[in-house]
Amino acid sequence: MLGVAIISFIAAMALALVLTPLVKKFAHKVGAVDVPNHRKVHTTTMPRLGGLAIYSAFTIGLLVMMPWVPEGLLSAYDRNLISALLVGGTVIVLLGALDDRFDLNAKLKLLVQIGAACIVVFGYGVKINLLNIPFGSAIQPLGEWVSIAITIVWIVGVTNAINLIDGLDGLAAGVSGIAIATILVMGIVMGNEAVILLATLLLGSIGGFLFFNFHPAKIFMGDSGALFLGFALATLSMLGFKQITIVSFVTPLLIIGVPLSDTFFAIIRRWVQKKPIFEADKGHLHHCLQQLGFSHRKTVLIIYAIAAFFGTCAVIQSSVSSKGFGNWITFIVICALVFLLQIGAELIGIVDKTRRPVLDFLARLRMKPQTDSRK
């Protein structure tokens, strides 16, 4: 399987390198371009639809490599996972491509995303059935409809989370690649051949596309790419819920910690500022870092590092979750990350530029001994 995985990665990357320039020409021809406005950081009209190159490289690579996978290596569930990602992903890419060209209504996009999630759940039976919740019993079974609802919300939420961070050259592609690399490492540890195959194909496709997408970008992935990568991450990360004896409830959240935390802070920010939750703004993580004076490239690299940190935490946490002290490690990881996220959010002003409750509290604690000593 290792040989198949390596060849899959190389083949997908080569395909993406060949297909991306062709997609760029196609995007210009059909008018799928991104025009600069007050919210955009780019100053020239850029072709979108880059997600078609990622999707095509992944799909062609998958169809070519599947016959080389040894018979009996993939279980029925594995084949369902592959089919669900392929069919549901096709629906998502078509939706994103149409949005790249015609700017579809948000409600229509949400309905189609729910439909794609339903394909995964009802068409192929891929859903979250069991959770391993810290300090609960070893296995928490879910009722049928609860399982379906959680799975659909998870897929739709993660799909849109990747789309929200797609604001700088190479940002969404790189963060997605780091998350998929994390899933690949966990797939190797678990011996999950389906996940290894899918993750290597996705990584190769992203790597080839990033050659044209990293700053200064020659093409954007658009909604076709951001939505597809989000959908792929949502589907693949559900392996964390499937492998209940190894991976705990929080692991999939850590894998995609950057887009999920950015989405969470965006919701809080708009609620605090009394703005509609779905109204776009320039308060996302990458905007805040640029406002602090970091260059375009440095901002992207900083967020890459944060994503890698989350991925490392996910791998470490998953490796200890099956041990006797796993629940305590999970609890410590959650508390530490929540504290660090809050500190980071206050430092860069991602929610509010003036309200810093935790930092102000820590500052008062540091000043109190000095005040006491003067008495």
Q: What is the pLDDT of residues 106-122, one digit of tens each?
A: 899 999 999 999 999 99
- pLDDT for res 1: 67
C-alpha to C-alpha distance for 126 and 329, rounded to whole angstroms: 29
Contact 51, 96 (CB under 8 A): yes
What range defines the domain where residue 12 resides? 2-374
* Residue in the structure block whose two tokens are 């009996």: 72
Q: What is the pLDDT of residues 202-250, one digit of tens each?
A: 999 999 999 999 988 999 999 999 999 999 998 888 764 444 333 445 6
Mean pLDDT of 327-347: 80
Backbone phi, then psi, for 247, in 5-degree steps?
-115, 130
Instruction: Give residue 368's pLDDT band: very low, low, confident or very high (50, 70, 90).
Output: low
Instruction: Give residue 271's pLDDT band: very low, low, confident or very high (50, 70, 90).
Output: confident
C-alpha to C-alpha distance for 375 and 301, rounded to whole angstroms: 48
The number of domains in the chain is 1
- pLDDT for res 281: 77
C-alpha to C-alpha distance for 255 and 162, rounded to whole angstroms: 12
- pLDDT for res 246: 37
More confident residue, 304 or 255: 304
Which amino acid, residue 158?
V
Say yes or no to pLDDT of 157 above 60: yes
Q: Give ∠ CA 99-103-107 in degrees, rounded to 5.
A: 85
Instruction: For residue 70, give Cα distances in angstroms to 64, 277, 285.
Output: 14, 48, 44
DSSP-derived 3-state class of residue 365: helix
Q: Which of 98, 96, 86 is nearest to 123 (CA)?
A: 86
- pLDDT for res 37: 62
- pLDDT for res 245: 36
Residues tagged in the binding site annotation for Mg(2+): 163, 223
Q: Which residues contact 218 (CB under 8 A, 6 or more apart)?
A: 24, 212
Encoding tokens for residue 327?
A: 């629940």
Q: Give ∠ CA 18-21-25 in degrees, rounded to 5.
A: 140
More confident residue, 8 or 331: 8
Q: What is the pLDDT of residues 164-198, one digit of tens each?
A: 888 889 999 999 999 999 989 888 888 888 888 99
- pLDDT for res 47: 92
Residues tagged in the binding site annotation: 163, 223
Q: Which of 111, 11, 115 is nearest to 60 (CA)?
A: 11
Which amino acid, residue 275?
K
Q: What is the DSSP letter of 122?
A: I
Instruction: Give residue 17's pLDDT band: very low, low, confident or very high (50, 70, 90).
Output: very high
Backbone phi, then psi, for 141, in 5-degree steps?
-70, 145
Is residue 202 left, alpha or beta, with left meaning phi > 0 and alpha meaning psi from -120 to 50? Answer: alpha
- pLDDT for res 5: 85
Average pLDDT, the chain: 84
Say yes or no to pLDDT of 295 above 50: yes
C-alpha to C-alpha distance for 256 and 186, rounded to whole angstroms: 14
Instruction: Give residue 357's pLDDT band: very low, low, confident or very high (50, 70, 90).
Output: confident
Beta bridge partners of 47: 33
Say yes or no to pLDDT of 36 above 60: yes
Beta bridge partners of 141: 130
Mapping DSSP onto H, E and C, the string for 101-145 reads HHCCCHHHHHHHHHHHHHHHHHHHCCCCCEECCCCCCCCEECCHH
Mean pLDDT of 261-284: 83
